[in-house]
Structure 1
Amino acid sequence: MKRIIVIILLVIVVLFGAVLAIPVFFKQNILTTAKTTLNKQLNAEVEFADLKLSLFKNFPKVTVGLQSVLIKGKGEFAQDTLLNVPHIAATMNLSSLFSSSRSIEEIILEKPVLNLLIAESGNVNWDVAPASGSAKKKSAATANAQEFQLALESIEVNDARLIYNDELAKMYADLEDINLDISGEMFGNTTQLNIGGVVNDLTYRMEGVTYISNTSLDLRTLLDVDFETMLFSIVESELLVNRLPLELSGDFSVPNDTTFLNLQLKTIASDFENFLALVPKDYEAYLKHITTTGSATISGGISGYYIDEDYPKTDLQVKVVKGNFKYADMPEEIKNISAEMLIAKPQGALDLLKININKAHAEIRNNPVDLTLKISNPVSDLQFDGAFVGKINLDHLKDALPIDSVNISGIIDANLFAKGRYSDVEAEAYDKIKSDGVVLLNNFVYDSPDLTQQVIIPSGQLDFSPQHINLGNFLLKVGGSDFRLSGKVSNYLNYVMKDGTLKGNLQLNSNFVNLNELLRLQVVEEEPAQSSDPAVIGQEPETLAFDVPENIDITFRSTINRAVFNRIPITDIKGEVRAVNKKLILDGLDMNMLDGKMTLNGSYENTTQNQPLFDFGFDIAGFDIPTMYHTVAGFRKLIPGAGTSSGKLSTRLGMKGQLSPQLKLIAATTNGKGSFSTNNVEIKDSPMFNQLSGILKKEKLRNVTIGDFTANLTVEDGSILLRPFTTRVIGQETTIRGSLNAESLLDMRMDFNVQREMFGPDIQKILAVLPGNEKITMLPAGVLLKGPVGDAKVNLDLSATQKAVTDATKDDLKKSLDEIGKGLKKLFK
């Protein structure tokens, strides 16, 4: 008995060891064979990072896993990835590992991305079949192919993505979050397959125009399959587009390079309520608690064949008759909804496609809106013919639709039509385009949680022609600011149809502009400020930086009577402001402010970090110093005692750098150069000059006059470097130089040449006892200012004074050394 137990244990150990060893023995063999076979049979580069075998997951079957599978093109597609699959799992019989013929029963693909590309050359990146070679090569490839056989019963695809980008036809489709499940015997001559698939997000664009977005597809179908003729017949099927149920029938076959299709599509039910299921899923919440009447149907089919650029015939009709819908808690309804749309194309190129909206109509309280549109030649040269006529009372619209996020009111009355070819739009051949119409706005009000102020248009008229939109009597109010706009906007067709640049030349007049309100117009959600100070924890920094829209080139010739920025009143603003391709350009913008004048030139452009780039030139004439002190906080910090002073300041300065999100200078980024000058400056009761009472008469320091001067400066990485200049302070010749660094630390020196009668009484007495003092009529004295702006320390440098006294009295000092020694001791103590 003991021997039998030992033998059984040995058998179990050997079998278990074999199970563990098989993945090791066969891994490299399968990995090498798979890579070699695929690269021989495909005109592409095939790579995968690793291969794993598991005998336990589906025992007695083997699970083979491939990691990071990549298929890259060659030639012009060498930089494009055709297929990227992070993980592929396949199930096969254990016996397949020991035979020359290996069969695969199940395949699972996780998060595959298939990128189909048609280049402008017309070549496609999925043509990976190798060029025909010798019969010997073909025979070898066939032999290799026969090493693998399919006995598939299941294919599962999870979270896939399919991208189709036709650069030649300017067509783009993106199918995201695809989940696919196929079951049935995928071998033999005939079979039935159960297919279930979901596409959670479908996007389709053509010529830069998005026709479908955020749309979901859900397909459940049973197929009869004849593998010999490659004929697939739909036994039963249901297709959900968003939530609209459609019936799909017919068949398709792929006997060779050509695909033959004979498919029909129709709505299962004709109620208008079902048709509303086409609304994208993001807006489904708005369709709750509504009642509907009327009918809506979709019908049509696809028949013919597809090969290369030859597409099958398409005939799809959409019809809505006497549709009405009403929200349960709304007093008004949208009624008499009708529409007829035809999407048709004969067998042939996609350029033969036509879309006709014969008439779309709706009413709210007897205010009708009508739309017609015809589109053809979408690939080669888009032709359009459309009209929109209607009067929309926004107060009535609010009574029919739950517009919770915004508050709007007023009347929009529109009568527009346009007909032409897109090539004429591009060529600006507006004489070949028929376009006319007018849009009238009356008491339009827009109030949104995203804005801090209401936007009001008391009246406005937009006249449309192929060349431009003419603005007439267009009044606009934003908070306390008012604007009157007139002028023309051009290239609007190109802007709307193909991301062209919207151009404009407008006259902007205003009685008052509150820049504080306008800079805070957009509500911006910010992350809480990080601070250890309990008083500011949880506060959000105010963001004033703003973006200039792209694809616009609009010039505003501005005349503004009054404006306010921070606490600074500004009057008589005139000049040009140009918004072009995300940049704001100021050209000769003149204004009166701070009892002086300023001309501003330069540019502003925001960044993704909300730290705008600026490059400004300032030409300031006659700013009043006490007015600056009382209205500009930064000036108060720079010159604390200027509030009781008088005089004018002028400057010419060019500066560039970056601003913070609060539109404050980021000092370390700032560079520039320029000059400044003063006129009739008098500084009263200055704490700094009061510290000079040791050498100058106190009464002279109460009202310090500074002679008119011009000084040059440079700004380097936020540090202001003041070049030496000479002026007169209290009538005394003074040379000034210094710097102010990016941390607002001041380092300045003033070298005085002081006339003898300006010395204080203490120094006069000391000088009086010095032999030869009558020779001293003027003495130099240095003053150093170092430290934070507004609290700099004042120190005297009398080394030059000592030398001047010594030089002037050295001959007489020999006669009375004792007196001189005592005098100097007191003077330079």
Structure 2
Amino acid sequence: MKKKLLIAGAVFLLILGILIALPFIFKDKIAERIDREIQASVNAQVYYDFNNISLSIFRRFPHISATVREFGIIGNPPFQNDTLIHVNQLQVDFNLRSVLFDEYPTLTGMHLNGGSLYVKVLEDGTANYDITYPTEEAPTESNFKMAVDILEVNDLDLIYNDHKLDFFMALGQIDIEGRGDFTLDVYDLPMKMEAYIADVSYEGTNYLKSKRFKGETVLNVDLEQFKFTLGDGSFTLNDFLFDLQGYIALPEDDIEMDLSFEGKNNSFKSVLSLVPGIYTDSFENLRTSGNMDFRGFMKGIYNESSFPTFDISLKVEDGMFQYPDLPRPVSDINVDMQIANATNNLDNTTINIPTFNMNFGSNPISGRFSLANLVDYTMDGALRGKLNLEELTSIFPVEGITLKGILDVDATAKGRYDSAAQIIPSIDTKLNLSNGFVKSEDYPAPIEKLNFIASIINPSGQMDDFVVDLTQFGFELEDEQVSGNLRIQDFSKLNWDGALMGSVDLGKILAIFPMEDIIMEGKLKADLQTKGSYADVEASRYNRIDMRGEMDLMDFYFNSTDLPQGVRINNSSVEFSPQRINLKSFDSRLGKSPLQASGFLSNYLDYFLKENEVLNGQLNLNSSRFDINEWMTADASDTTELSVIAFPTNIDFNLAVNMDEVLYDNLSLKNVRGNLSIKDGILQFRDAAMSTLGGQVSMNGSYDPRNITEPLFDFNLDISSLSIPRAFEAFNTVKAFAPIAQHLTGNFNTKLNFSGKLGPDMMPILSTLDGKGLLRVAEAAYQNPQLLQAVSQVTRLNESNSLQMRNISIPIEIDNGVMDVRPFDVRLWDYQANIQGSTSFDGGINYLINMEVPAGKFGSMANKLLSTITGTQASESTIIPVSLNLGGTYNNPRVSLAGGNSIENLLSNALRSRVSQERENIQEQATQQFKAAEDSIRREVRSKAETMQDSVKREAERKASETKDRAVDEAKNVLRNVLRPRNTTKPDTTSIR
């Protein structure tokens, strides 16, 4: 017996050892298979660390589990900056036998734990989730078999951003669990799901925000009919519990549905949980009572021409809610609402609210509304009530604000809207606020005597009887009064007549209605009158529109987190007339920079009231010292990257600048003068001039940002007496194309036509630059021991480590980021020389230096060679042609003799040619060899330039799309920071694009 136990124990240990060893024995094979399948199936950048792959046979025995940590997919262009999916941990279960012995592996389970999914669809329908290879492009065919019996997702964030449908959805903390035999054509799938609904918006309208969803049901999946049927289950949205039953089928292109839903065991408090702003931490302590009933159905076909029938109803009876610690409730809430459509045409939708009433404390509000259809909008509605504003603060939590006054509302509307027949509903609406009072605890003085009387009347239903009359509007703040009136007549013509006058202290208003991180002071005074008709606007009869008056702003100051430099306007006066707006005076300080301005805008009514009209204007700017750097930094330690500035194409604007000093980057620009114009979206510079770096710069040119991903510039520069070393320190282009300038002293003059593209940081893209001009240097000294010593070592010429150059004219041409220096003559030391070559945008240099060196400068070496050849010695008249190749980079130069000769061979060949009186031109040969090598270098540089330009363009396109995806930024802040901060080892690469 003991022997049998030992044998059994040994067998068990052997099996256990095999099970432990199998994952390690076959790890390479399994990992290679996974990698091969990914490469075969996914047309995107898949990132994972092989060391983050672990295998286990015990997690779901008899299945083998492969776990990958920190795994993700980044799209290819145009989604190269978007992370489609990042998973903290993904466990995939395989049938062990299929992996080891079958032709194809069988996948039996998937478990995702933590991650994010970002789905993006562009306006043309291109989607970042389309990452599979077309059949003809796939290197191999993926052959996974699916026999999944469990699917688990835990703590996943999802953002769906569809520009084509104008649909946006952000979900967080998604948990899903599903179990079933997925290999069958028809099977039941028990499912559980939880999620935080951060945002759901469609066509600019928000439908759900900050809601928590839970659901549990059995989903019957029929893959043959592509039909999904919901069984018994329950769903909750915040505290609202409902049931959803029926099916959705996709037989072909249509969507067929038969769904019914009904509230379950809900109270009035459940409905309140769906109201924005109420479902907070104090919601559990909210006192409520009342009954609620919610039910409805949707049944039919959905396609481009058909919409399902539906009937949705909501009833609330004797509802009440009261905030904790507040004395008054909102009570007697009764709502009866039905939205229905018995046809397949959405235009036949009816809305019926026969009952709507509630009491705000002791103030009753009641109303009704019905809408017959969405075609002629036949309606019948009413709303009546009187609110004591002082009581509202005892009903709703309003901290730090005291309200008083009586708001009286009495509104009725009945009839139909038919623009063709000039018919609108008859309307009788009166709004009256009397003795209004607003006081903030942060400011001792209140806004008082706040009154307005308004009416909207149309007794006949005819458009020309329509009248909106704001007969009185006004308030007082510490003896300062603001008053106004407005009257609009005739709904088809919209004739208006109004006025606004008075003054207000902006600092006092901000104290009463504080805004976070904003400082604002100043007094605004206005006296404006306007009269006209929208019919005249449509007919372009702008001469009939009267807009006149003045507006003054005095002692104004504004500061915020986005504008930390602060803006101070000592005084500004604007005069309005129908033809133009005149800026009579403007004396300000922007940050530390004083600025005065004057000018005008004309055609402004056409521009603001009509499409495709052009706004004309002129602005004159004057400053004694303007610091641009102050507006390029967010704070003392953080520099904010510049971005491409685009101009509207329907603005024709001229700007005259006169500034004594402008500070930009490390430059001080003196006596800045010039005229700028914006027209058709292009900025033109005319007669711009400034003094800087000890010289004078004049400029004409243009900046064209109409293609915001590839903005263009084209300048014509005239530079005189500019310091060479200071130009090197100040300009990146000089550093790139003329690095020799760092070792030169003296001044230079040039006339240069210069054009190219700008990057998303508004800096020139060096690889795109084109230019042509002539560089003149009257006198300069050159000191660079490293380069000059390298020349001496190669030539054996013992010369000093400095050069004096005079009266040099250098013709240059820049083509696609390569600066060509055409051949020019110069004296190097005491030798006549000719230099030609190029410098590329990446810092590479390639120059040929042809020198004429007297043989005597080579000393005994030349005499010895000459006596060997002729028996005579070299004289000063014996000229040796020396050709040098200068390559590498300026800071790491490579100097060599042309043709690879040693100096001895060069001297010997040169002396033999001279003695034999052969006509062979050694330097001509060197020049031809140099040009041949230069062609190869140019091709390499051009390839680098194209690669760089593509990279810059992709970055520019990414930045250009950022404004369309701001909702993604906001959603990510909610999902990551509000729900729970995370520290994951893989940073998010989804730069909101």
Paired amino acid for 2:654:
T
The residue that corresponds to 1:189 in the other structure is none
The residue that corresponds to 2:915 in the other structure is 809
The residue that corresponds to 2:642 in the other structure is 544
**Which of 267, 270, 291 lines up with 2:387 in the alignment?**
270
Correspondence list, 1:685-764, <5 A:
686-693=785-792, 695=795, 698=798, 702-716=802-816, 718-730=817-829, 732-756=831-855, 759=857, 761=859
Structure 2 vs 1, CA of residues 492 and 233 (structure 1 numbering), >3 Å: closer, same or farther? closer
Structure 2 vs 1, CA of residues 567 and 87 (structure 1 numbering), >3 Å: closer, same or farther? farther
The residue that corresponds to 1:623 in the other structure is 722
Find the residue that maps to 1:645 and give its secondary structure.
strand
- The offset of 1:574, in angstroms, is 1.3
**Which of 658, 672, 676 lines up with 1:577 in the alignment?**
676
**Which of 885, 896, 908 lines up with 1:795 in the alignment?**
896
Q: Distance in 2 between matches of 1:346 and 1:437?
A: 35
| Contact 2:756-2:764 at 8 Å conserved across structures | no
- The offset of 1:50, in angstroms, is 6.8
- The offset of 1:414, in angstroms, is 1.3
**Which of 291, 296, 312 lines up with 2:402 in the alignment?**
291
**Which of 653, 662, 667 lines up with 1:568 in the alignment?**
667
TM-score of the superposed pair, with normalisation by structure 1: 0.64
Q: Distance in 1 between matches of 2:483 and 2:789?
A: 81
| Contact 1:595-1:622 at 8 Å conserved across structures | yes
Paired amino acid for 2:819:
I
The residue that corresponds to 2:29 in the other structure is none
The residue that corresponds to 1:182 in the other structure is 312
Q: Distance in 2 between matches of 1:523 and 1:581?
A: 35
Q: Distance in 2 between matches of 1:811 and 1:22?
A: 100
Correspondence list, 1:238-257, <5 A:
238=357, 246-249=365-368
Find the residue that maps to 1:691 and give its secondary structure.
helix
- The offset of 1:301, in angstroms, is 0.9
Structure 2 vs 1, CA of residues 249 and 598 (structure 1 numbering), >3 Å: closer, same or farther? same
Q: Distance in 2 between matches of 1:764 and 1:238?
A: 115
The residue that corresponds to 1:319 in the other structure is 432
Structure of greater Rg: 1
Paired amino acid for 1:453:
Q
| Contact 1:501-1:552 at 8 Å conserved across structures | yes
Q: Distance in 1 between matches of 2:540 and 2:372?
A: 47
- The offset of 1:390, in angstroms, is 1.6
Q: Distance in 2 between matches of 1:501 and 1:295?
A: 46
- The offset of 1:747, in angstroms, is 1.5
Correspondence list, 1:335-484, <5 A:
335-348=448-461, 353-377=466-490, 379=492, 381-422=493-534, 424=536, 431-484=543-596
Find the residue that maps to 1:628 and give its secondary structure.
helix
Q: Distance in 1 between matches of 2:548 and 2:655?
A: 25
Deviates most, 232-241 or 591-600: 232-241
The residue that corresponds to 1:303 in the other structure is 414
- The offset of 1:611, in angstroms, is 7.3
Paired amino acid for 1:272:
L
| Contact 1:462-1:470 at 8 Å conserved across structures | yes
The residue that corresponds to 1:74 in the other structure is none
The residue that corresponds to 1:534 in the other structure is none
Find the residue that maps to 2:473 and give its secondary structure.
strand
**Which of 222, 245, 248 lines up with 1:65 in the alignment?**
248
| Contact 1:486-1:507 at 8 Å conserved across structures | yes
| Contact 2:311-2:338 at 8 Å conserved across structures | no
Q: Distance in 2 between matches of 1:224 and 1:590?
A: 69
- The offset of 1:340, in angstroms, is 1.6
- The offset of 1:355, in angstroms, is 2.7
Deviations 1:564-618 (A, max 9, x none): 2222221121111234565533223111222222222333356898875433333
Q: Distance in 2 between matches of 1:219 and 1:723?
A: 89
What RMSD in Å do the two structures reach over aligned CA positions? 4.5
**Which of 286, 292, 296 lines up with 1:155 in the alignment?**
296
Structure 2 vs 1, CA of residues 356 and 590 (structure 1 numbering), >3 Å: closer, same or farther? same
The residue that corresponds to 1:680 in the other structure is 779
Structure 2 vs 1, CA of residues 290 and 629 (structure 1 numbering), >3 Å: closer, same or farther? same
| Contact 1:624-1:649 at 8 Å conserved across structures | no
- The offset of 1:685, in angstroms, is 5.1
Deviations 1:756-807 (A, max 9, x none): 56x2545565567453534953221112221123322222336765533221
Q: Distance in 2 between matches of 1:367 and 1:585?
A: 46
Deviates most, 606-615 or 792-801: 606-615
Q: Distance in 2 between matches of 1:453 and 1:724?
A: 51
| Contact 1:754-1:780 at 8 Å conserved across structures | yes
Paired amino acid for 2:259:
A
Find the residue that maps to 1:270 and give its secondary structure.
strand
Find the residue that maps to 2:562 and give its secondary structure.
coil
| Contact 1:407-1:447 at 8 Å conserved across structures | yes
The residue that corresponds to 2:227 in the other structure is 52
Q: Distance in 1 between matches of 2:723 and 2:372?
A: 87
Deviations 1:117-175 (A, max 9, x none): xxxxxxxxxxxxxxxxxxxxxxxxxxxxxxxxxxxx942589xxxxxxxxxxxxxxxxx
Paired amino acid for 2:895:
V
How many pairs were matched up? 612
Deviations 1:51-98 (A, max 9, x none): 626484499x98332459988xxxxxxxxxxxxxx7844359xxxxxx
Paired amino acid for 2:910:
A
Q: Distance in 1 between matches of 2:603 and 2:258?
A: 54
Structure 2 vs 1, CA of residues 634 and 396 (structure 1 numbering), >3 Å: closer, same or farther? same
Deviations 1:502-547 (A, max 9, x none): 3311221121111212334x789xxxxxxxxxxxxxx977302253
The residue that corresponds to 1:118 in the other structure is none
- The offset of 1:406, in angstroms, is 1.2
Find the residue that maps to 1:331 and give its secondary structure.
coil
- The offset of 1:457, in angstroms, is 1.0
| Contact 1:332-1:399 at 8 Å conserved across structures | no
| Contact 1:646-1:683 at 8 Å conserved across structures | no
Q: Distance in 1 between matches of 2:829 and 2:731?
A: 27
Structure 2 vs 1, CA of residues 345 and 796 (structure 1 numbering), >3 Å: closer, same or farther? farther
Find the residue that maps to 1:403 and give its secondary structure.
coil
| Contact 2:754-2:769 at 8 Å conserved across structures | no
Q: Distance in 2 between matches of 1:87 and 1:498?
A: 44
Deviations 1:169-197 (A, max 9, x none): xxxxxxxxxxx9724xxxxxxxxx8499x
TM-score of the superposed pair, with normalisation by structure 2: 0.54
| Contact 1:685-1:703 at 8 Å conserved across structures | no
- The offset of 1:407, in angstroms, is 0.7
Correspondence list, 1:154-173, <5 A:
154-155=295-296
Paired amino acid for 1:295:
I
Structure 2 vs 1, CA of residues 504 and 273 (structure 1 numbering), >3 Å: closer, same or farther? farther
Deviations 1:384-412 (A, max 9, x none): 32211121122322332213331111221
Q: Distance in 2 between matches of 1:335 and 1:629?
A: 64
- The offset of 1:326, in angstroms, is 1.2
Percent sequence identity over aligned pairs = 21
The residue that corresponds to 1:4 in the other structure is none
| Contact 2:337-2:351 at 8 Å conserved across structures | no
Structure 2 vs 1, CA of residues 553 and 408 (structure 1 numbering), >3 Å: closer, same or farther? farther
Structure 2 vs 1, CA of residues 800 and 426 (structure 1 numbering), >3 Å: closer, same or farther? farther
Q: Distance in 2 between matches of 1:413 and 1:373?
A: 19
Long gaps (5+) in structure 2: 1-183, 189-223, 235-243, 262-293, 300-309, 318-332, 343-348, 919-993
**Which of 701, 704, 707 lines up with 1:602 in the alignment?**
701
Correspondence list, 1:103-182, <5 A:
154-155=295-296, 182=312
Q: Distance in 2 between matches of 1:474 and 1:297?
A: 43
